[in-house]
A and B are shown apart, each in its own frame.
Chain A
């Protein structure tokens, strides 16, 4: 029973992390890159605006950061909840 409740806490923490990461994922691509681009048009980036930068490069860089952050955080969670592989 104790193992199950600990797994439950682990799974909930994982879901929180996934939801948070996916909000950022959507915000930088669909948000800053497309829908919110007009709102960011005042911020100039090298001959264009911040929305253009997010659509062509910024979102990719944020995606990279998200995946590595998630991997690092999850590996810590595995250890904290005793569900890691070793």
Chain B
């Protein structure tokens, strides 16, 4: 069977599974549409949360980010998992006790302020929409590469599949599809990693192989990697090169942002009890950790493999010849990926060999001049292809490649569905029911949720097809908004008695300062050349715009406390609400209201 048929088989089978689940799990009520009837087992919810959370960025990009930077990008590993500690200890159980359907609804009720609810809804919609663009683009790219259709067709197929299970199934359909998607994506991520770890270290567990010995040389794998990358003039893999303050703030921003992202928080509304919300956050992190403990191994091993392929005789021998790249099957992946424009090489000095080294390093420039090299000849290596190309780089069987194709699509689709659900429930529950038509019937609300979802899919597909130039920058925006506005408001709502004025002032202050800081560095509304600073030389010391969410959160807290202290205390019924949210007792009753 050829590779195309294999890919088609794996992707087709996984899609048939998702559609089958959708037909089985149709939502009949708003409670089922928004919160899966609050009947999801905590382990099931943990698995769905893991698929919801792990996006195209986690599956496709993260290992590449680590592979080409090393230790300095550990921020992604700690940041995107550490947020679950905040979620489990500070938010999830209390929001489940509150027993409503959306994040903005809690903010509106707790701060007895329609303005607060509106600010939260706007943050939620902007953060989720920017996030969903990347998922839709990812779907298009994965289809384009593996199924040989153009990006547009691929994206439209993906959109139709999401439409089928998200519009009809709501949270109930999305939850059970996400469970299936988690299984597909974790197999797709770990199976190639196990093969590669066995090849390189003899250890079947990649996370242990990373700290094991490199079988070919007998040296520790990381020591070997440090040695060969420094010989080519690159930064030592395991060493700390980044600015420490920025690294700490970036990690913290990712943690707070993770805990404040509405599509993750709302998953904890689906479990039956407060105690289940606590367990469920733990289970979510178990399932996430299976991928996150594997990712650094995938990154380091791929970096080692690629470097050795480019220098088959070792870094002191001859570089790989153009002839070998074109004829040796071990290099077929280079030709495949060259056609996508994401990989490129050029024999600049015409010696028939491709020298891969860091031509920005002074010592290497001297060595290159002596050897007659005219710059790094592996001219383009897009970090995003690393995970997708990894099975081919390691020469793994064709079915593994088909599995990876299905896994990448599962990661993108599951996150897209979660985000679309967050958007549609904010529109139908917070805007239509909350602001315009409070007396809407349950049937009417369910219909408006489905229409909102359908519109959101159309908008997301359009933006995925015509991504605004700033698409790559918007992830910083989503995390910045979640960290600076939503997380502090939720936390203060539970742990303090900050009043309505304090909350609104705090959210607006955190939001505006963070937005302005991002715009000053990335351009106003991301329009190129309107920026006054760059992340290489930021406004405040070494704090990059991507790390500013944590600062925005601190501003939010500070402003909220000051304003709240200088205005009226909260009314008695809100005080009672806070007290009731703090104890699990009576959670069932609250849920039964719906």
A residues engaging B (CB < 8 A)? 7, 10-11, 14, 18, 21-22, 25, 29-30, 33-35, 37, 45-49, 52-53, 55-57, 59-61, 63-64, 66-68, 70-71, 74-75, 78, 82-85
- Count of CB-CB pairs between chains A and B under 8 Å: 139
Say yes or no: is B565 at the interface (Cβ < 8 Å to chain A): no
- Given contacts A57-B77, A84-B584, list 10 more A-B pairs with CB under 8 A: A29-B251, A34-B247, A45-B211, A56-B74, A57-B296, A63-B82, A64-B282, A67-B85, A67-B89, A70-B278
Whether A46 lies near B81 (C-beta < 8 A) is no
Whether A47 lies near B219 (C-beta < 8 A) is yes
Whether A60 lies near B223 (C-beta < 8 A) is no
B237 to nearest A CB, angstroms?
9
B residues engaging A (CB < 8 A)? 71, 74, 77-78, 81-82, 84-85, 88-90, 93, 207, 210-212, 219-226, 238, 240, 244, 247-248, 251-252, 273-275, 278-279, 281-282, 285-286, 289, 292-293, 296, 579, 582-588
List the 10 closest pairs (A to B, CB-CB), nearest first: A47-B220, A46-B211, A47-B222, A55-B74, A71-B278, A67-B282, A47-B223, A83-B583, A48-B238, A56-B296
Closest residue of B by beta carbon distance from A75: B275
Whether A85 lies near B219 (C-beta < 8 A) is no
Closest residue of A by beta carbon distance from B240: A37
A70 / chain B contacts, CB cutoff of 8 Å: 88-89, 278
Whether B285 lies near A64 (C-beta < 8 A) is yes
Please list 10 pairs of residues, one from A and one from B, whose beta carbons are closer than 8 Å in the complex, sorted by A's number: A29-B82, A47-B238, A48-B220, A56-B210, A60-B77, A60-B81, A60-B285, A63-B285, A64-B286, A85-B275
Closest residue of A by beta carbon distance from B72: A55
B247 / chain A contacts, CB cutoff of 8 Å: 34
Distance in angstroms between the alpha carbons of A60 and B84 in the assembled complex: 10
Q: Would A78 and B584 be within 8 Å (CB), given that A46-B220, A46-B222, A47-B223 are in contact?
A: yes
A59 / chain B contacts, CB cutoff of 8 Å: 77-78, 81-82
Distance in angstroms between the alpha carbons of A14 and B582 in the assembled complex: 10
Distance in angstroms between the alpha carbons of A61 and B288 in the assembled complex: 11
B307 to nearest A CB, angstroms?
16
B289 to nearest A CB, angstroms?
5
Whether B248 lies near A34 (C-beta < 8 A) is yes
B363 to nearest A CB, angstroms?
23
Whether B85 lies near A52 (C-beta < 8 A) is no
B210 / chain A contacts, CB cutoff of 8 Å: 46, 56-57
A43 to nearest B CB, angstroms?
13
A65 to nearest B CB, angstroms?
9
B273 / chain A contacts, CB cutoff of 8 Å: 85
A75 / chain B contacts, CB cutoff of 8 Å: 275, 278
Closest residue of B by beta carbon distance from A74: B278
Whether A35 lies near B583 (C-beta < 8 A) is no
B77 / chain A contacts, CB cutoff of 8 Å: 55-57, 59-60
B587 / chain A contacts, CB cutoff of 8 Å: 85
A50 to nearest B CB, angstroms?
11
B38 to nearest A CB, angstroms?
13
Distance in angstroms between the alpha carbons of A32 and B107 in the assembled complex: 35
Whether A85 lies near B584 (C-beta < 8 A) is yes
B165 to nearest A CB, angstroms?
29
A52 / chain B contacts, CB cutoff of 8 Å: 71, 74, 222, 238
Whether B286 lies near A53 (C-beta < 8 A) is no
A78 / chain B contacts, CB cutoff of 8 Å: 275, 583-585
Q: Would A21 and B588 be within 8 Å (CB), given that A46-B221, A71-B279 are in contact?
A: no
